[in-house]
Chains A and B, each alone.
Chain A
Amino acid sequence: EAGVAQSPRYKIIEKRQSVAFWCNPISGHATLYWYQQILGQGPKLLIQFQNNGVVDDSQLPKDRFSAERLKGVDSTLKIQPAKLEDSAVYLCASSLVVYEQYFGPGTRLTVT
C-alpha cells in the first residue's frame, strides 16, 4: 500500500514570497491533517479535513496560510507571504481510523 506522498521535499524561498505544498493521502483515507514541525519541537496541527470539509483550523494563521482539499483527496497548503518564522517541516498525515495517523515524509521549508 502506497504511503502519504508529499512534494516538494525541500523548498527555499525569500521572505514575502509565496509557496505551496502538495499532499496525496493514502487511498480511502477520509481524514487529512497538515502539521507544522519547527526544529526541536513536536508537530503542531494546522488544519484537519474530513473529506473536503474543514474540521479544525483553529491554529492556522489565516492571514497568511490557506489550505484546500478538492474532491476530498489531494490537498494543498499555501503560505503567502512567507515570514522567517515559517521555516519548518510541513507534515501531511491521513487516517482511516481517527486515532491512527499515517504521516508523509514532509516538506522542509527554509525562508531566508
Chain B
Amino acid sequence: TQLLEQSPQFLSIQEGENLTVYCNSSSVFSSLQWYRQEPGEGPVLLVTVVTGGEVKKLKRLTFQFGDARKDSSLHITAAQTGDTGLYLCAGDPTSGTYKYIFGTGTRLKVLA
C-alpha cells in the first residue's frame, strides 16, 4: 500500500513568515498534486507536477517534485492569513491511471 506522509501535521505561524511543508513516500509516483482545503469546502487543486526535479511557482507558492519522484515540498513565501487551510498532497502511483492517493495533510494557520 502506497502511503503519503505529510509533515508537519500542524503549523501555526505569523503573517509574513516563510514556511515549507513536506510530502514523502517510499513509493514512486508518476505525478503529484497539491490541494488546499478550507473548512466546510472541498479541496482545490493548486498544482500538478509530473517530472522528477520539477519546480513550479504559483505567486508566493513554490512546489518541487523530488528527483526520484518519491517526495515533494511546498514552500510559501511571506504567508498571509488567506493561506490558512489544510494542504493535501496526492500522488498517482501508476502512470496513466490518474488515481490519486491523498496524504494526511498539513493544517496551516497564519496569524495576523
Contact = CB atoms under 8 A, between A and B. Distances in A.
Contact of B104 (A41, A93, A98): A41
Contacts of A104: 42
B88 A99 contact: no
Contacts, number: 44
Contacts of B72: none
Nearest to A3: B42
Contact of A99 (B42, B43, B48): B48
Nearest to A40: B104
Interface of B: 4, 31, 33, 40-45, 48, 88, 90, 92, 98-100, 102-105
**Those 10 A-B pairs whose CB atoms lie nearest each other, nearest first:** A103-B42, A42-B102, A98-B98, A99-B98, A43-B102, A103-B43, A42-B88, A91-B42, A42-B103, A104-B42
Interface string A51-91: 00000100000000000000000000000000000000001
A44 B100 CA distance: 9
Interface residues of A, number: 20
A24 interface: no
A19 to B, nearest CB: 19
Nearest to B6: A42
Nearest to A35: B102
